[in-house]
Structure 1
C-alpha cells in the first residue's frame, strides 16, 4: 500500500496517514492547459507562461455553478476517493494552471481537527458577547435553549487536483516543500494530501483575495509598502529554508486589500537551492572570472549567427513566467540563488509604480533581454552577460548605452513630465528600494531579510503597532466593563 504526505492532525494527536482509496478511473486532464508557447526551447524545464491561468484566480465568495465540463470533473473527483463527500463539499473551480486545477470546497469536518493553519480563527475568538442584564439572563437562556443552535459559519479550503500527467518527482517535491514550510509567515500551508492510484490531491487553505488588476492602480505608496512587506515576509521564510519559489508574480501572491494580508501560493516550480546545479563563473573571484573570460572578451563578434557554432551548449533551469525572470535566468546561469525571487518581486513593484500590467511583455528570452537592456542600457547589460560567461551584442537603435533611470520611467509611465514634475519623497524611497531589488548582479541584490529592514517596507509599521496596542487596551477595558 502506498503512502502519502502527512495528513492533517487530530487534536492532541500526531500526523496521520490517509489510506489509499479503492482504484478508480483516471481523472481527465485539461489538454489545452499543457500547451506551451516556447516549445523545445525549454531545455527540458517546464515554464509557467502568462497565457496560463493562475491556479488561484477567483476571489468571489459566491457559489456560482461551473460549466458542464467542470461539473462532471468535480463529480468524478468526489467519486475517486472513499469518504470524500463526507469530508468536503466541492463548490466551484477557482483556478487552473499548467499542472493542476484548484476547486473551492467546504470543509465539513473542520471541528474534528487541530486547525492551526486557520488565520481567521484568532479573529473569531474576539466576537463580542451579547449585552444582557442579569435580571433577564435566565429568561434569555431558556429562550436560547428552546431555539435551534445557530449553524457555524462555513469553513472553506482549496482542493488542488494535480494532473495525472505530472511527473511523480515534481508532485513529491511540491508536497515536501509545502510540508517543510508549515507555520511560515505569509506562506500557504499544506493541510493534508492523499492519492488514489495515480491521482494526487492536496488540501490547502482557501484565502479570500482580490484580483491584482482591480487594486494595483489605486495603491498609494504606503499601500505598496504594506503589500511588499507581506510578500517579503513570505520570501524571507521561504529563503530561510533554502528554497527558491521560482514563480513570483501577482497571481501567486493572494492579497486582500481590506485586511492587508497576503499569502504566497503555488510552489509547483519551487526547488531547493543548489539542487542539480553546476558551478557558474558568477560565483568566482573577479580575478579568476577575468582569466576564464579572457578569450571571450578578446574575440571579435560578427553580425548574425555562425554557420557552425563550436561553443559548448549550456543547460540551466529557466522555469518561471515571462516578464518576471531574472537576468541570470535569461543568461542560463547554472548556479541560481534565491535572489531570482527578489528580482521578480521588484518587477511587481515596478508594475505598481508605473501603473502598467504587465510591464514586461516579451515573447521569448531574447525579447526579454532586449526589454531589460532598454532600461539598463547596453553597457550594463553586457557586463551582466559577462558575469555569467555570456556575450551580448546588439545593433538595435532604441537600446542606448546608458539606459534610463527608474525615476524617469515612473514619471513617463504615469504621464508626468520628467523636466517639470518630480517624485514625492515616498515615491523616491520606493524607487530606491526598487533599484536594490532590480540589480543586474545577483550578489549585489538585496536579500529578503535585508529588505524587511529597509525604510520603505517599515513605512507606517511603528505607528500601526502603536495603534494596535492602544486598541488592544481599549478592548480589554470594554470587556472588563461588560
Structure 2
C-alpha cells in the first residue's frame, strides 16, 4: 500500500494500485472512501418499516433531488467537528479533497462525500458519468475555452471511506485487493486510489448519486423491479465469476439511481474469496446420504442440555446482516459459496414484492431460523439442516409442516387475502390463482433465489437468462 501519495497518474491513466506505479509526493496520506460498511453478526441497520400510501414517481424524484444537495448548511455541528478532526489528523487530506457531508457509517468505517480538488490533474477512467453526459467528447475549437472553464467549475465528487484503526491490516488489504480486482464492471464500484497516514487508511471511491431505498421501494412497478435486479445481478455475475463472495447484499449496499435506473454494488468489507477456510460439509454431496437419513431415525428427543457434550465444535463464517443471511450461514455450513449472495438478493426482492422492509427482523440466529421456517415449514427446514450436518426441531405450534407458497406470503403481506379457513380459504386460493402473469414470473424467480438447498439455488448467470430479467 502506498503511504502519503496518490497512486493515479497525472495526465495519463490511473496508476495500477498494486503494481508500483509512480507516487505523487504528498506530506500526508489521503483517505479512501466507499459505500456504507457492512455489518457482522450481532449488528443491524435499524431501518423502520414505512407505513402509508405508495409514493408516486414525482415524490421519488423529489426525494432524489433533495438527496443530491451538498449544502454545508445541512451538516450538523457534531458531523462538522468530526470532519474537521479528520482533516487535522490526516495530514494533507484537505489539500486534495473538500469534505462536504457524512453519508454513511458502519461497524468498520465512516464514509464522507467530498469534492476532488485535483480531479483535472488526472485522467479519470473510473468516471462513468463523464462518458454518460458527453463530457469526454472534445468541443469545437471556437467553444473549447468556454467549455473547459465550465467543466472546471463543475465540482467532481468522490466518496472517502475512512477505515477504522480497529480493523485488522489483513481485512483492510483484503478489501482493497478485491476492489482493485473487480474494476471494469459498471455495476461494481471501482477503487480510485488509497492512502495511509500512520495507522489510518482511507480508500477513494466514486460518489454515486442514489436514493434511500425506503423512499421508493413501495412505488416500484414490476418493470422498475426488473431493471433494479438486472443491474444487481449483472454486478453479482461479475463478482461471482471472479470467485468472490460479497457476503453483505442488502439495499444499503446497492446504491440505486432511480432517475437513471442504474445501481452500483458497494462495500466489500466482508467479502472473501470462495473457498477461504473451507472444510468438509455434507452439503457438498449430491442429495441426502444414508448417513444423513439415519439422523431422521433418531430416538425421541429429551429436554435439557447434555452434561458432557463430546461433539466437536463447528466454526464457520457467519458475517453478514441479520435478515439477509442464507440458511447455510445460519446452520454454520463450512463450505459456503457465492450462492449466499443470491439468497440475500432474493430477500431484497421479497421486500419489494411484499412492500415490507425489513421483511425479516430477527434478534439472533435462532429467531432468524424460525422466521425462515415459518415460511417454508418444518419439513423443508429439517431437510435443509441435514444438508449441513445439523438438526432442526421446534415445537412452536404456529409453524406448520408444509409451510406456505411465496405467492400466498406476498398476497398476505399486501392484504389481498385474509388467511382464514373454510370459505375464506377457498376465496384466498382463487385470488392466488388470479395473480397477474408478471407477478407470477416474479414469484417463480423469487422461489429460485430463495431455494433452501444452495446446490439447487439459481446462480447469477442463470438469473440473467431468467424470464424475469431477460430482454432488458
Aligned to 2:183: 182
CA distance in 1, matches of 2:147, 2:246: 51
Aligned to 1:477: none
Shift of 1:117: 1.1
CA distance in 2, matches of 1:120, 1:2: 27
Aligned to 1:394: 394
Q: 2:69 aligns with which of 42, 61, 64?
A: 61
Q: Does 1:125 align with 2:126?
A: no
CA distance in 1, matches of 2:300, 2:28: 63
Shift of 1:185: 3.3
Aligned to 2:45: 50
Secondary structure at the counterpart of residue 444 of structure 1 = coil
Gaps of 5+ in 1: 28-32, 37-44, 132-136, 462-482
Residues 99-158 of structure 1: CA deviation (Å, up to 9, x unaligned)? 111010001111221211111111221799999xxxxx99xx8xx989994353211000
Aligned to 2:440: 428
Task: Indicate the structure (1 or 2) with the bigger Cα radius of gyration.
Answer: 1
Aligned to 1:77: 86
| TM score, norm. by length of structure 2 | 0.84
Aligned to 2:107: 98
Gaps of 5+ in 2: 49-63, 418-427
Shift of 1:303: 3.2
How do 1:59-458 residues align onto structure 2 when only pairs under 5 Å count? 59-65=67-73, 66-125=75-134, 149-150=149-150, 151-286=152-287, 289-291=289-291, 294=294, 297-417=297-417, 418-421=428-431, 422-458=434-470
Given that 1:188 and 1:265 are in contact with CA atoms closer than 8 Å, whether structure 2 keeps it comes out as yes
Size of the aligned set, in residue pairs, is: 431
Given that 1:21 and 1:80 are in contact with CA atoms closer than 8 Å, whether structure 2 keeps it comes out as no
Secondary structure at the counterpart of residue 442 of structure 1 = coil
CA distance in 1, matches of 2:186, 2:70: 28
CA distance in 2, matches of 1:376, 1:307: 33
Given that 1:189 and 1:205 are in contact with CA atoms closer than 8 Å, whether structure 2 keeps it comes out as yes
Given that 2:4 and 2:197 are in contact with CA atoms closer than 8 Å, whether structure 1 keeps it comes out as no
Over the residues paired in the alignment, what is the CA RMSD in angstroms? 3.2
CA distance in 2, matches of 1:411, 1:238: 33
CA distance in 2, matches of 1:173, 1:235: 18
Given that 1:362 and 1:368 are in contact with CA atoms closer than 8 Å, whether structure 2 keeps it comes out as yes
Secondary structure at the counterpart of residue 158 of structure 2 = strand
Give structure 1 regions of 4+ aligned residues with deviation exceeding 6 angstroms: 126-131, 144-148
Secondary structure at the counterpart of residue 315 of structure 1 = coil
CA distance in 2, matches of 1:410, 1:17: 55
Change (3 A) 1:5 1:109: closer
CA distance in 2, matches of 1:431, 1:146: 53
Secondary structure at the counterpart of residue 373 of structure 1 = helix
CA distance in 2, matches of 1:145, 1:348: 48
Secondary structure at the counterpart of residue 443 of structure 1 = coil
